[in-house]
Amino acid sequence: MTGNDDHKSIGKGLSLPGLIVGLLTGAALYAIVEYWIDDKDTAPMAFSVLFFVATLAASYLLLAETNKLFKALFGAVAIAAFFILPDYFMASLAGDETKNLTAFPPIFWFGISRGLSAYLLITLVKASIEKSAPPPYHEVFFHGLTMPLIAAGAKIFAGLALVLLFVWARLLKEMDVNFFNKLFQEPWFILPFLGAIGGLSIAMMRGQQSVLSALRYILLLFCRIVMPITAVFTITFLMILMIKGTGAIFDKPYPGGIMIGLALAGMLIFNGVYQNGEGAPPPLWLRLATLITLIGFPVYTGLAFSAFTLRIEDYGLTPARIAGLAITGLVAAYSLVCFAGLVTELNWRAKRWMPMVAPLNTAMAAIWVLVLSALATPLFNPWAMSANSQYSLLAKQKIAAEDFDFGYLRFQLGEWGEDALDKLLGLTDHPEAGAISNGVARARDAKSQWEYANPDFYEALETLPDDTSESSAAESDDGPMGLELNPDGGPDEDNESSSAEE
């Protein structure tokens, strides 16, 4: 089903290299954490090197074959080097509260888009090493389906090894032998140990092709089973949409996110049914269900795009909206792949099913890597883009000064927000120039986003006795009782009643 007959020898004989690479990687990570990463002046570079080493090791272990060790090394170095710029840029702007920057872009990069980009890039490079460049889609599909299984299995093995290690240490401690319990808590031991176990686990999982083949079969079978259900849902959704209109979607919280989620789920299920692009059309019932599901793609992406654009038009860009809009664009681009598949169905008796989908899928994987990585670079600085958008919103009189969140520029967009505030002060010909000047002054007089958003609280403090007001003021930098309220700020970020929320 997956064309894996040519891959029976993958991962054989890599246990020892995996153990050694993992051990050296763990030792290197320990050295970076222990001797470098605490240096504030060079911490961004330290974090970048740490991610470089981890990515290099993981890529190498996934790319290497017994007869292609050096070729895999070049590919792993190229993959790790690809992420240096976005890693450094995001690390240099993350974790420093004095910069007054919303943490969403680093969280989105390190928590979601970096891992997804690395997975896609490793898959493309692996397919290229196996065959040629550009990589054939059957290789891209095979490795794209297999690598998550290897990673998941390796994590399970490494976790079990760690649990057994501490159970053993605890048992020895009960026998009044504390040496191992103390040893296993030392970073210089535990990081190389975890690295060695992780490397060995990846190598061993790669050698279990029979197990991986069974897991692939189950995943692909699941996609075929749920495809008819997805088709029924698509028909039901379109009927409700025609009867009730778009209000049934836009009146709910986060309509853009929901539509994108449906599109991504459909994308994965479709590719599970389509498989490696080399087979004949599936049975009629599955073929029709797939076509119905593909018809829903433009609807999902159109609704998502409308939701995001309406929200941006009313409240301007924020880093979260930039990320959402980028994902929407990528999913919308995949609608072209679906359209190509539908067009090729005009030749109903073709020997290959939707032949145009395979090369377009490979191209889309590369586009996802480029777009997600670009969002983490100075070229598409999300804080700067948001600050410019917020400035234009007020400068072009799309929002009243009394409704504008000057505090968001001051406390969430850092130096770019400060520049936008300076530019707002220069709008002397603006009809609300006085109100704008007062808003900028209030934002810069505030010590925190919470203080800016709750001026009445501080005015009430002035009516209290001196001893009470002093103690309350000490607690109110982040809010009453030390709670940080509305941490992300953002123009109307918490208003759930808008008709175009994402």
- DSSP summary character for residue 281: P
Q: Are the CB atoms for 436 and 394 separated by under 8 Å?
A: yes
Angle (CA) 418 421 424, round 5°: 155
pLDDT value of position 382: 95
Share of the chain above pLDDT 90, in %: 53
| pLDDT, tens digit, 9 for 90 and up, residues 141-158 | 999 999 999 989 888 888
- Write the DSSP assignment of 435-452 as a string of letters: HHHHHHHHHHH-SSHHHH
Radius of gyration of the chain (CA): 27
Cα distance from N-terminal residue to C-terminal residue, the chain: 38
Domain ranges of the chain: 4-207, 218-376, 382-482
Confidence class of residue 396 from pLDDT cuts 50, 70 and 90? very high
For residue 421 the two structure tokens come to: 């505030």
Q: Distance between CA atoms of 461 and 483, rounded to whole angstroms?
A: 17
Distance from chain centroid for Cα 473: 38
- Region 88-108: what's the mean pLDDT? 90
For residue 463, pLDDT over 90 is answered with no
Task: Kindly report the backbone phi and psi dihedral angles of residue 372, in degrees, each rounded to the nearest multiple of 5, phi listed first.
Answer: -65, -40
Query: Which residues contact residue 197 at a Cβ distance below 8 angstroms, ignoring those fewer than 6 apart?
Result: 22, 157, 158, 161, 162
Confidence class of residue 71 from pLDDT cuts 50, 70 and 90? confident
Q: Are the CB atoms for 19 and 57 separated by under 8 Å?
A: no
pLDDT value of position 369: 96
- Region 242-261: what's the mean pLDDT? 84
- Region 176-192: what's the mean pLDDT? 84
pLDDT value of position 88: 95
For residue 464, pLDDT over 70 is answered with no
Can you tell me which residue has the tokens 């970076």? 32
The least confident of 49-63, 129-143, 352-366 is 129-143
For residue 447, pLDDT over 50 is answered with yes
- Region 90-109: what's the mean pLDDT? 89
Q: Are the CB atoms for 107 and 334 separated by under 8 Å?
A: no
Share of the chain above pLDDT 70, in %: 88
Confidence class of residue 495 from pLDDT cuts 50, 70 and 90? very low
pLDDT value of position 497: 36
pLDDT value of position 184: 80
Q: Are the CB atoms for 372 and 117 separated by under 8 Å?
A: yes
Burial class from Cβ neighbours inside 10 Å (0-12, 13-18, 19+) for residue 459 reads exposed
| pLDDT, tens digit, 9 for 90 and up, residues 3-27 | 445 565 555 668 888 999 999 999 9
pLDDT value of position 130: 73
What's the half-sphere exposure (Cβ side, CA atoms, 13 Å) at 366? 13
pLDDT value of position 492: 57
For residue 480, pLDDT over 90 is answered with no
Q: Are the CB atoms for 408 and 490 separated by under 8 Å?
A: yes
pLDDT value of position 69: 77
CA 386, 392, 398, 399 torsion: positive or negative?
Answer: positive
Average pLDDT of the chain is: 86
For residue 276 the two structure tokens come to: 């490696």
Could you tell me which residues are beta bridge partners of residue 101?
413
User: Cα separations (Å) of 196 from 17, 31, 61, 72, 77?
Assistant: 10, 15, 12, 19, 20
Query: Which residues contact residue 164 at a Cβ distance below 8 angstroms, ignoring those fewer than 6 apart?
Result: none
| pLDDT, tens digit, 9 for 90 and up, residues 397-441 | 999 999 999 999 999 999 999 999 999 999 989 999 999 999 999
For residue 162, pLDDT over 90 is answered with no
- Region 180-207: what's the mean pLDDT? 87
Q: Are the CB atoms for 199 and 22 separated by under 8 Å?
A: yes
Could you tell me which residues are beta bridge partners of residue 413?
101
Task: Kindly report the backbone phi and psi dihedral angles of residue 179, in degrees, each rounded to the nearest multiple of 5, phi listed first.
Answer: -60, -50
Q: Distance between CA atoms of 153 and 159, rounded to whole angstroms?
A: 10
Q: Distance between CA atoms of 390 and 202, rounded to whole angstroms?
A: 47
pLDDT value of position 498: 38
Q: Are the CB atoms for 37 and 47 separated by under 8 Å?
A: yes
pLDDT value of position 443: 93
Confidence class of residue 461 from pLDDT cuts 50, 70 and 90? low
For residue 59 the two structure tokens come to: 């890529």
The least confident of 55-69, 169-183, 369-383 is 169-183
